[in-house]
Structure 1
Amino acid sequence: MSPVKTRLAALFGAALLVLGGTAAAAAESSGHRFGDWPTWQGSPSGSRFNPAEHRITPRTVGGLGLKWAFAYPKSFFPVKSQPAVVGDGVYFGGPDGKFYALDSDSGATRWTFDLGTVDKGGVVIDGPSVARGKVFFGDSRGYLYALDQRTGRLVWAKQTEPHPAGMHTSSPLYHDGHVYVGSSSGEMLNPDVKYPCCTFRGHLDSFDADTGDLTWRYYTVPEPKAVGTWPSGATRYEPSGAGVWSSPVVDERTGTLYVGTGQLYSGTTGDFDSLLALDARTGAVRWKQQVTKADTWRLLCGKPDNEGYCPGQKDGTALDYDIGATPTLFRVGGRTMVGVGQKSGVFHVFDARTGEVSWRRQLSEPMPGGGLSGIQWGTSFDGRNLYVATNWANPGTLFALDPEDGDIVWQTPSPADGCTTGGAAQFPTVCKRAHTPAVTSSPGLVYEGSVDGKMRVYDSRTGAVLWTFDTVRDFAGVNGLTGHGSAISGNGGAVVSHGTLYVQSGYWPSYPSDHGNVLLAFGPI
């Protein structure tokens, strides 16, 4: 860094201390302890940074050891629900249609809630948010739930999704008496050429946290209309898609929500591949930035003989370049900025008040016909650097970026021996040097898992790997089941709270096993 940037970094650190005090006061007022991780983002601003962590440090991280493992029953679904940690409780959903609360020290089960008591067939695929004595989460059918934090009793459950393929991959965000959550869909994965594609439209919703009543809904595309037929004769609807895959964040001072959107399934219009800034009270648009000019993609775009079913295939606009990542708010030079990663491999930064572009940084080259090489779920900001990871980027790489201009402070590729050592070495055709999870940080440390099944902790100053743990193995669960690790889970990332590191292991691509996935808890031994 230049001397000026060094001084700026020091100012960032000083500002962080002020923000830490504010965060502590806010935590107390919402029933949290400073150092809790009550929501997917860690903080309402999307920092994924825990400033209160003082037990896991650059000096002690090398001594991290496994405290306990919680094993899931074998399931078709991988584990995706990032835990929330409040006090001595850990809250998360399993791929078995159940939601769990555990004791953070022992891993003992406090209570379990079965989603089948509301409606059969649901799976928790997002992380929860804990606020005001309630646990909020969504499921694969579009239900949103509120449970009593202490007992697991159902407070309310609402079917929020008017489309049969709708679901919640977006984790809820609590703010000022309301719960905000996005809606996405698997409709674009239908491989049947006779399917009347497509009628889903993405939306971000606001619900009353006490009652579950809908207070407003923002649709990302106009209502789909029949505009003709596909080559099979099936009805063709446009526009559709632009799902909200990730969690929103909020600037609590201005009451502004920020959230990203995905690609279209059909048509050419709507708020696809966009970062939206909405009024948290009304849902009105304050500004929006569309980062891709055209992007209409569904599964048939990747299939042979798709002539007429994927109009963007020939002209290069079938890209699948979602903003699937959660935004991050941060301060630079007295201005609040908002940054977000895209599956194209670009990290975008805008003025949070106006939407004006500040800078962009291309961190990986896009893959033809899909965005797997890019930035998937989310980034972290520790008051000094932004931390961003790329996925199947040959290899996926963890970056530290200067928040002022996007200059690369350091970059560390997923280690070359990741697929030749540990459990992944037995499955060379499955393993990739890739990063699916969101990035997490605490003072002096950055946490990022890999498709090779290894969880790693990095030095935030240099990018050096300080600790590695291979999860592709069997684990004896504290709940009496045997579990098996796999690729470190996406839909979230590592959670660091009160001296414990929590990691969900089990995601696509999966390593073969007769056992279900695992939640692992590590602490200084």
Structure 2
Amino acid sequence: MRRARGLLVLCSLVALLGSTTAAVSGADAGVASGDWPSWQGDPAGSRFNRAEHRITPRTVGRLKLKWAFAYPKTGAWAKSQPAVVGNDVFFGGPDRMFYAVDARTGKTKWRFSLGSVGASTMEGVAFNGATGAAVAEGKVFFGDSRGYVYALDQHTGKLIWAVQTENHPRGWHTSSPLYYRGRIYLGASSAEHGVDKDYPCCTFRGHIDSLNAATGALVWRRYTMPEPQAVGTWPSGATRYEPSGAGVWGSPVIDESTGTLYIGTGQNYSGHGGDFDTLFALDAVSGAVRWKQQVTDSDSWRDLCNFPDGEGYCPGLKDNTALDFDLGSTPNLFPVRGRMLVGVGQKSGVYHAFDARTGKVRWRRQLSVPSPLGGATGIQWGASYDGTHLYAATYYAGPGTLNALDPATGKVVWTTPNPADGCTRGGAAQYPEQCVLAHTPAVTSSPGLVYEGSTDGKMRVYSARTGAVLWEYDTIRDFTGVNGIPGRGGSIAGNGGAVVAHGTLYVQTGYEPMYPSERGNVLLAFDLP
């Protein structure tokens, strides 16, 4: 009997280890050939390309510019992280176009105009453009900042379907889609945090959607907020609605062994309530909540909180709860001692790790200390996991830093600050008023290497073992695009990060802070000679 029990325990442990490995390495099946088919890199959100063997710690120093693809001057951010499948690269531009180009030459294969689909109340809002893409089923899926979600033919760019997921006039998508078993999953956020004093604030409530990948039909929707109610007026006389917000800025991930979807939410725009600053674990089939963890007690913030006369419009100024402490980062799934954990970075500077099945807190690590800038100091878009360490970067943290963490304990293995001379040399030295030592993008990794760009305009590759900078390229310079358009680099783009696939490094440039230029932003591709 004792031996039988021992065998049963051993078999159960093997099954558990197999399932946790499948949730990470099985998720990598889509990138086993070296592709990078989605924002997350794989369904588990590792942002790690284990199949990359050309760019290594020994060869990375020889990376050279392969081609530049330039956008027309628009004044908007470049925010669409490329997806790479075979010899095709898919991405959106700040010019409201979506492109497919040849990975070898940068030559355009097809392009699609977002404006060709319907109308939107967001047409006049800056930073219009596509999210990162997910490529599956012969289709390219992405959202945009008009509130639409699209499916294009992967080979021709022909529109297969487009659906408007937003009935709110300021709703949009910053969340990039995840494809899983015939469904598309993504979140919805909004520009309502940027409204003025005369606006009846606020009525947006975030949501997470599951769409049929073949048709775009809504399968289920999970709201993060109850319907906002009128509760009086603001000092301007505009109607006051509460609670509101909890937009979903980041992208989802999934544990394939349990069918559990994980995604984080943002702050309240007004009032206090709903599932703000919350990590959700949802049943991917039904959208039912398996567990949720709210990581901040109170967080009501909108742009008016940044102004001295915002007191009447930002109640949190008095009690110090105007924090802007979103879970804007995409989660990461990683196994530790036979159990799956799910981690997520917060704009407070804390990286949280939970038991993926129960939601129990396993550890937390503070990587930066909030300043008067609030959430601008913390972890923005996402971290990376390479099977050994977690890598997370902080933004306006004086300076921003890149950190390697032990996934079992959260212990900091190494920390590398944004180089102190980043704003005094290279192209950034011309713009001392704009330059800041900060890390906006999500972190990316490949065997032995970590990739993170800076607002000082420099793309850097670090040693995964020590954190030493092994390669650097200053993007604040003029380029001639292979598409015949003159371009210029700038801050390395947020809303995504570097992409590494088939021996090529792809970097979007042109984000906050915007450097003065008469030229548009650029997508850069680097490879080994």
* RMSD of Structure 2 on Structure 1 (CA): 1.6
The residue correspondences of 1:15-414 to structure 2 (distance < 5 A) are 22-23=26-27, 26-27=29-30, 34-119=33-118, 121=123, 123-191=128-196, 193-368=197-372, 370-414=374-418
Percent identical: 69
Q: Helix, strand or coil: the match of 1:513? A: coil
1:514 is aligned, of 518, 522, 528, to: 518
Shift, 1:23, TM fit: 4.6
Structure 2, unpaired ranges of 5+: 1-17
Q: Report the secondary structure of 1:508's partner residue.
A: coil
Check 1:195–1:40 CA distance in 2 against 1; reply closer, same or farther (3 A cut). same
Cα distance between partner residues in 2 of 1:417 and 1:119: 47
CA distance in 2: counterparts of 1:491 and 1:18, whole angstroms: 28
Report the 3-state secondary structure (helix = DSSP H, G, I; strand = E; otherwise coil) of the residue aligned with 2:285: coil
Q: Distance in 1 between matches of 2:523 and 2:199?
A: 38
- 1:125/1:155 CA distance change after superposition, 3 Å: closer
Task: String of CA shifts for 1:319-351, please: whole Å, max 9, x gaps.
Answer: 111111000000000000000000000000000
TM superposition score normalised by structure 2: 0.94
Shift in Å, 1:17: 8.9
CA contact (8 A) 2:440 2:493 kept: yes
How far apart, CA to CA, are the structure 2 residues paired with 1:21 and 1:161? 35
For the residue of structure 1 that corresponds to 2:230, the secondary structure is strand
Q: How many residues align?
A: 507
Distance 1:446 1:16, change over 3 A: farther
Q: Is the 8 A contact 2:71 2:485 kept in 1?
A: yes
The one-character-per-residue Cα deviations of 1:35-59 (angstroms, maximum 9, x if unpaired) are 1100001010000000000110111
Counterparts of 1:42 and 1:58, CA distance in 2: 21
Flag the 1:252–1:490 CA change in 2: closer, same or farther, 3 A.
same
What's the secondary structure of 1:423's corresponding residue? helix
Deviation of the 1:416 alpha carbon? 1.1
CA contact (8 A) 1:141 1:164 kept: no
In 2, Cα distance between equivalents of 1:91 and 1:71? 14
CA positional deviation for 1:21: 6.1
CA distance in 1, matches of 2:324, 2:266: 8
CA distance in 2, matches of 1:336, 1:156: 36
Match of 2:445 among 433, 441, 445: 441
Q: CA deviation at 1:194?
A: 1.7
User: Aligned letter for 2:189?
Assistant: S
How far apart in 1 are the matches of 2:202 and 2:309? 19
User: 1:452-501 CA distances to partner (integer Å, 9 max, x unpaired)?
Assistant: 00000000000000000000000110000111000000000000000000
Contact 1:33 1:87 in 2 (8 A): no
* CA deviation profile, 1:139-182 (whole Å, cap 9, x unmatched): 11100000000000000000001101000000010001000010
> Is the Cα contact below 8 Å between 1:437 and 1:448 reproduced in 2?
yes
Contact 2:20–2:340 (8 Å) recurs in 1 = no
Aligned partners of 2:465 and 2:310: how far apart in 1? 48
Mapped contact 1:301–1:369 kept (Cα < 8 A):
no
1:307 is paired with a residue of what secondary structure?
A: helix
SS in structure 1 of the partner of residue 313 of structure 2: coil
Question: How far is 1:417 from its partner?
Answer: 1.3
Counterpart of 2:425 in structure 1 is 421
Q: CA deviation at 1:310?
A: 1.1
1:202 Cα deviation after fit: 0.3
DSSP-derived class of the 2:163 partner: strand
Change (3 A) 1:483 1:382: same
Measured against aligned partners, the alpha-carbon deviations of 1:487-517 in whole angstroms (never above 9, x if no partner) come to 0000000000000000001101011110000
Of 451, 466, 471, the residue aligned with 1:467 is 471
CA contact (8 A) 2:305 2:311 kept: no
- Counterpart of 2:179, as a letter, is Y
Letter in 1 for 2:432: P
Aligned amino acid, residue 431 of structure 1: C
1:242-267 CA distance string (max 9 Å, x none): 00001000001101000010000111
CA distance in 2, matches of 1:456, 1:334: 34
TM-aligned CA distance change 1:347 to 1:256, over 3 Å = same
Moved more, 154-163 or 361-370: 361-370
Letter of the 1:43 partner, please give it.
Answer: D
Q: Tell me, in whole angstroms, the C-alpha distance in 2 between the residues paired with 1:125 and 1:419.
A: 30
Map Cα deviations across residues 99-131 of structure 1 (whole Å, 9 max, x no partner): 000000010100000111113539324101101
* Contact map agreement 2:43 2:254 (CA 8 A) in 1: yes
1:387, CA displacement in angstroms? 0.3
Q: Distance in 1 between matches of 2:155 and 2:399?
A: 44
